[in-house]
Amino acid sequence: MSSQPTQITRIGPLSQPVSLGVEPATFSSMVEAEIDSHLAKYPVARSAILPLMFIVQRERGYLDPAGVLYLANRLKVRVTDIWEVATFYSMIHTSPIGKYHIQVCRTLSCKIRGAGQVTEYCSNKLGIKVGETTADGRFTLSEVECLGSCGTAPMLQINFDYHENLTPEKIDQVLNALP
Amino acid sequence: MRIEAIGCEPLQLRRVHLENSRSLDVYRRNGGYEAVKKVLDGMSPDDVINEVKKSALRGRGGAGFPTGMKWGFVPKDSPKPKYVVCNADESEPGTFKDRYLMERDPHLLIEGMLIAAYALSAKTNYIYTRGEYRYLIDIMDLALDEARAAGLLGNRILGSDFSCEIYTHTGAGAYICGEETALLSSLEGLRGHPRMKPPFPAVSGLYASPTVVNNVETLTAVPDIIKMGGEAYQKLGTEKSGGTKLWSVSGHVVHPGVYELPMGYDDMEKFIFEDCGGMLDGKQLKAVIPGGSSVYIMRADQIVGKDVRMDYEGLVAAGSSVGSGGFIVMDETVDIFESTKNLTEFYKHESCGWCTPCREGTDWLVKVFKRIDSGDGRPEDAQLMLDLCDNIEGKSFCPLGDAASWPIQSAIKRFPEDFRRRLAKNGDGIS
């Protein structure tokens, strides 16, 4: 062991601005007020990150780089802080997604009551596979994990709406009724 | 789907079928907010904790930890703010009771949280609801507004010296956030990674302050405990498992639903074949996962004629556990290899990636399942899966690893024929 202190090359702070090549997103005063109402709930602004991400998604279709930059500025955190959270949660979308996100529950209780047929029926009806979006950008089809609708299986969720006890007729009804 | 109490007077389900059951008015006309009045009229925080201790109420989220003891761990002399956080991140496959409690009786949850907040001197409290339950967040927000307008939230509640606030918070699709320390990470705006325990949340939780995290069903049991007294509540159940419990029943029964049973309900066979209407389409019972996907799967012959009592001790004696009460019934058409593969894919998807045994182990397990499924299973594969489970169970950072291992271990042990059939071509190696 040498008595000389080891020379450590200091690594630069991670707070250096990261350029995303875009301007931060802007929102109407109504949306800004909604954002403020969430921030008011917490002693630490960062806690509002998920509620705010949902608002940005609602307003911009998905969490795009301009939205990420906005959140970083608004919450006074680094752009990478926003990305690291965004990429953890399955409901936060960092790439464009269909207007209607059809999420078929695939977990056990639904699986044994016909989830596979629900997925197949939707897939055939829309002409897309799981994970794909229709060419007109209207529908994205996903399989998701347990949505807490096991007693009313099989089920699917479209954006935030639950549709339960599904049959082919009911799926037709639900999809045809979408504006 | 049915929502009803069997073998006891409904406690938590008392109001769910009333018209406008969500409204403050209906809640108050049916005994609502009397418990919080009783508390503010002359019980000390310690009195409240003692009643909850006497009630033998155990955490309904899955772990079954005694609630009164959990509350007792919060240091009284801490200068830091204290928090009560309601875990409404209901995501355990097969579990949907919290959803109906919040949908039908949101004020019951608010009253339970108020009492907990009073007992722990917490001024700010959060309801962490899974992101997919957006409509429940809207229902809770409306109920909170109603309560605030009626002086049941905010400053000097009902004219007392007690003030507190409750806010809703949304998750965004992550099973791991049902684990209490991961939930707190998420509530702080971070990735939902679990944290090292100790320190336990009671000492250092949200924003490093003393925090109690309780499930929806746990908190909604509290108003009745206060009203009838801890002892009377305990007597509804058994000595170590007090009160009543909600069971979410799904799968191949005639009447799936949410059932409130006294702890120690006798017995599981009657519950399936009479209370839940028996097996769908007259098929044979093959297996039951009684407590959410994470508990040991049971064979029909561990249930039929075995007088299985439905409480914490009874289910352990029968070879499984209460867990979250997500009761999944499977008939003879279900291949247990398939059902276990389905759950393993769930755990792989939901593993947060923080620790190696769980992240790599669940991924490897899914690969082995897929290999067997495609007909390329190797003679050593069943043993390989058990070895993998052995290297995850007890060696992962949080209980998700255990939860991923137990279904596989119990399935191979209790349904070896379903694995043998898949491996028959190349030899199965199951002893």
Taking the CA of residue A106 and the nearest CA in chain B, the distance in Å comes to 8
Same domain, A78 and A104: no
> What residues of chain A have any CB closer than 8 angstroms to a CB in chain B?
41-44, 46-51, 53-54, 75, 84-85, 88-92, 106-109, 111-113, 144-153, 157, 160-162
In a domain, A142, yes or no: yes
Looking at the predicted structure, is the pLDDT value of residue A13 above 70? no
Same domain, A79 and A104: no
Asked if the C-beta of B418 comes within 8 angstroms of chain A's C-beta atoms, the answer is: no
Nearest chain A residue to B192 by CA distance is: A88
Q: Which of A44, A88, A151 sits opposite B192 (nearest CB)?
A: A88
In a domain, A61, yes or no: yes
Same domain, A172 and A115: yes
Nearest chain B residue to A87 by CA distance is: B191
Nearest chain B residue to A152 by CA distance is: B1
In a domain, A164, yes or no: yes
Asked if the C-beta of B169 comes within 8 angstroms of chain A's C-beta atoms, the answer is: yes
Spell out which residues of chain B touch residue A130, defining contact as CB-CB under 8 Å. none
Spell out which residues of chain B touch residue A151, defining contact as CB-CB under 8 Å. 1, 96, 248-250, 256-258
Which tokens go with B253? 């029964």
d(CA B169, CA B172): 10
User: Tell me, what amino acid is at B245?
Assistant: K
Asked if the C-beta of B218 comes within 8 angstroms of chain A's C-beta atoms, the answer is: no
In a domain, A9, yes or no: no
Same domain, A76 and A119: no
Average pLDDT over all residues of chain B: 96
Taking the CA of residue A115 and the nearest CA in chain B, the distance in Å comes to 12
d(CA A119, CA A99): 18
d(CA B418, CA B411): 9
Instruction: Report yes or no: B385 and B365 within 8 Å, Cβ to Cβ.
Output: yes
Same domain, A114 and A168: yes
Q: CB atoms < 10 A from the CB of A36, how many?
A: 11
pLDDT tens by residue, B356-379: 999 999 999 999 999 999 999 998
Q: Which of B96, B339, B343 sits opposite A151 (nearest CB)?
A: B96
In a domain, A13, yes or no: no
Candidates A37, A150, A152, A159: best to mutate against B (most CBs of B within 10 A) is A150
Look at B124 and A157 and tell me if their CB atoms are within 8 Å: no
Taking the CA of residue A78 and the nearest CA in chain B, the distance in Å comes to 12
In a domain, A22, yes or no: no
Q: Which of A44, A84, A151 sits opposite B191 (nearest CB)?
A: A84
Residues 6+ apart with CB under 8 A from B63: B399
Which tokens go with A172? 């037709």
pLDDT tens by residue, A121-152: 999 999 999 999 999 999 999 999 999 999 99
Q: Which of A42, A89, A109 sits opposite B251 (nearest CB)?
A: A109
Looking at the predicted structure, is the pLDDT value of residue B133 above 70? yes
Q: Which of A109, A147, A162 sits opposite B328 (nearest CB)?
A: A109
Looking at the predicted structure, is the pLDDT value of residue B430 above 80? no
Q: What is the pLDDT at residue B429? A: 67
Instruction: Report yes or no: A140 and A92 within 8 Å, Cβ to Cβ.
Output: no
Taking the CA of residue A142 and the nearest CA in chain B, the distance in Å comes to 13
Q: Which of B126, B334, B342 sits opposite A107 (nearest CB)?
A: B342
Spell out which residues of chain A touch residue B289, defining contact as CB-CB under 8 Å. 108
In a domain, A116, yes or no: yes
Look at B94 and A89 and tell me if their CB atoms are within 8 Å: no
Asked if the C-beta of B123 comes within 8 angstroms of chain A's C-beta atoms, the answer is: no
Looking at the predicted structure, is the pLDDT value of residue B380 above 80? yes
Instruction: Report yes or no: B193 and A89 within 8 Å, Cβ to Cβ.
Output: no
Looking at the predicted structure, is the pLDDT value of residue B219 above 90? yes
Look at A148 and B343 and tell me if their CB atoms are within 8 Å: no
pLDDT tens by residue, B269-281: 999 999 999 999 9
Q: What is the pLDDT at residue A18? A: 55
Average pLDDT over all residues of chain A: 92
Same domain, A112 and A147: yes
Nearest chain A residue to B250 by CA distance is: A151
Same domain, A142 and A169: yes
Same domain, A110 and A165: yes
Same domain, A108 and A57: no
Look at B93 and A108 and tell me if their CB atoms are within 8 Å: yes
Q: What is the pLDDT at residue A17? A: 54
d(CA A152, CA A167): 12
- In B150-244, alpha helices (H): 180-187, 216-228, 230-236
Asked if the C-beta of B212 comes within 8 angstroms of chain A's C-beta atoms, the answer is: no
Average pLDDT of B106-115?
98
Q: Which of A44, A50, A111 sits opposite B172 (nearest CB)?
A: A50
In a domain, A18, yes or no: no
Range of the domain at A82: 29-86
Window 124-163 of B, Cβ < 8 Å to A: 124, 126, 130-135
Does the model's pTM come out above 0.90? yes
Looking at the predicted structure, is the pLDDT value of residue A8 above 50? no
Residue B65's nearest CA partner among B173, B204, B200 is B200
Same domain, A109 and A160: yes
Select from A59, A86, A113 the last residue of a domain.
A86
Candidates B82, B87, B96, B185: best to mutate against A (most CBs of A within 10 A) is B96
Spell out which residues of chain A touch residue B99, defining contact as CB-CB under 8 Å. 148-149
Residue labelled with tokens 């182990």: B361
Q: How big is the A-B interface in CB pairs under 8 Å? A: 141
Q: What is the pLDDT at residue A4? A: 53
pLDDT tens by residue, B57-74: 999 998 999 999 999 999
Which tokens go with B198? 């100790």
Average pLDDT of B159-173?
97
pLDDT tens by residue, B312-328: 999 999 999 999 999 99
d(CA A156, CA A166): 8
Same domain, A144 and A78: no
**Where residue A153 falls among pLDDT bands split at 50, 70, 90?**
very high
Domain count, chain A: 2
- In B202-350, alpha helices (H): 216-228, 230-236, 268-270, 312-317, 336-350
Select from A60, A86, A112 the last residue of a domain.
A86
Average pLDDT of B44-53?
97
pLDDT tens by residue, A101-115: 999 999 999 999 999
Same domain, A69 and A106: no
Query: What CATH number does residue A122 fall under?
Result: 3.40.30.10
Instruction: Report yes or no: B73 and B49 within 8 Å, Cβ to Cβ.
Output: no
Residue B107's nearest CA partner among B161, B178, B213, B30 is B30
Instruction: Report yes or no: B324 and B92 within 8 Å, Cβ to Cβ.
Output: yes
Looking at the predicted structure, is the pLDDT value of residue A7 above 90? no
Select from A86, A109, A127 the last residue of a domain.
A86
Which tokens go with B428? 């199965």
Q: What is the pLDDT at residue A21? A: 79
- Of B107-111, B215-219, B397-401, B421-425, the range with the lowest mean pLDDT is B421-425
